[in-house]
């Protein structure tokens, strides 16, 4: 259902329900939540990549599972479980990268939007298609509207139409679209650049980035200034600045 593969300081998590296009069943979300919680507590893990087995990245929630228990209390628990997982992606200290191929629809598209970075194959497609079934993708809209412009997000949400990899790049849902054989090298190149940086700066910076987005500009600057002042007192920052002054590589 979920595989973990550790490559050095990077944890690769693989959605592994290929026969169901990696739909987010309760079991898969629970497994992913447990892994993310464990990784967040592990200082030896510097970054996370979320990929998928089979032909698709993720087709959203498991509709058969959802339909089997049609009660308000069940749906409230289900969407709370999913929202908690999406929030964990942003609140954990490590950068999280989505590795996307095939389709990413509904909550699968939400998963892409909730990750810090996303890279996809050039034939990948994305949609928040719940409206086609009479179910507006309300929870995916939270992550989608924080990646795309309002009108681009609303067009996807109101029509349920797919966008292709090029459009996903242009509209800000993914960072880059490459051929399938270049996807992993592209991600690895980014990982190498991230993991070469001081862990304290990356973790403090990620935390600040999402917190300040929800604040007014004055409060955002206050929080950012305090974060940067604390970061500057860290040994790695002091060494980095000194190395710049001395025109040498930093010794981290």
| CATH number of the domain enclosing 213 | 1.10.12.10
What integer is the mean pLDDT of 46-59?
Answer: 98
Same domain membership, residue 151 and residue 64: yes
Above pLDDT 90, what percent of the chain?
Answer: 89
Whether pLDDT at 252 is above 90: no
Residue 250 lies in a domain: no
User: Cα–Cα distance between 252 and 235 in angstroms, integer?
Assistant: 9
Quote the number of domains for the chain.
2
Alpha-helical segments (H) within 145-197: 150-159, 165-171, 180-195
Same domain membership, residue 75 and residue 111: yes
Same domain membership, residue 80 and residue 115: yes
Same domain membership, residue 149 and residue 82: yes
229-244 b/e (C-beta count within 10 Å ≥ 16 → b): eebeeeebbeebeeee
Show the domain range for 160.
2-195
Instruction: Output the average pLDDT for the chain.
Output: 96
Nearest to 133 by CA among 74, 221, 31, 60: 60
Whether pLDDT at 242 is above 90: no
* CB atoms closer than 10 angstroms to residue 126: 28
In this structure, are strands 163-164 and 125-127 parallel, antiparallel, or unpaired?
antiparallel
* CB atoms closer than 10 angstroms to residue 44: 10
Residue 251 lies in a domain: no
Same domain membership, residue 206 and residue 174: no
Furthest C-alpha separation in the chain: 66
User: Cα–Cα distance between 117 and 16 in angstroms, integer?
Assistant: 21
- The residue from 155, 177, 195 where one domain ends is 195
Which pLDDT band, with edges at 50, 70 and 90, does 240 fall under? Answer: confident
Same domain membership, residue 164 and residue 75: yes
What integer is the mean pLDDT of 58-64?
Answer: 96
Query: 82 and 30 in contact (C-beta within 8 Å)?
Result: no
Residue 19 corresponds to which tokens in the numbers above? 């026969």
């Amino acid at each position: 259902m979920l595989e973990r593969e550790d490559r050095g300081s990077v944890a690769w998590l693989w959605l592994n329900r290929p026969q169901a296009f990696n739909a987010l069943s309760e079991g898969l979300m629970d497994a992913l939540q447990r892994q993310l919680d464990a990784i967040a507590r592990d200082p030896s893990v510097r970054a996370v990549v979320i990929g998928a087995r089979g032909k698709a990245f993720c087709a959203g929630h498991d509709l058969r599972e959802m339909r089997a228990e049609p009660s308000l209390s069940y749906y409230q628990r289900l969407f709370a479980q999913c929202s908690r997982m999406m929030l964990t992606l942003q609140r954990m200290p490590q950068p999280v990268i989505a590795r996307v191929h095939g389709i990413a629809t509904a909550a699968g598209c939400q998963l892409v939007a909730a990750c810090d970075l996303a890279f996809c194959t050039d034939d990948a497609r994305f949609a928040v298609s719940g409206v086609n079934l009479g179910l507006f993708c309300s929870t995916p809209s939270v992550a989608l509207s924080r990646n795309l412009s309002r009108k681009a997000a609303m067009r996807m949400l109101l029509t349920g139409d797919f966008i292709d990899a090029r459009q996903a790049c242009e509209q800000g849902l993914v960072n880059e679209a490459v051929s399938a054989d270049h996807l992993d090298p592209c991600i690895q190149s980014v990982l190498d650049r991230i993991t070469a940086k001081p862990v304290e700066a990356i973790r403090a910076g990620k935390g600040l980035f999402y917190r300040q987005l929800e604040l007014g500009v004055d409060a955002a600057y206050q929080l950012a200034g305090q974060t940067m002042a604390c970061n500057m007192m860290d040994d790695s920052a002091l060494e980095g600045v000194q190395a710049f002054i001395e025109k040498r590589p930093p010794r981290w």
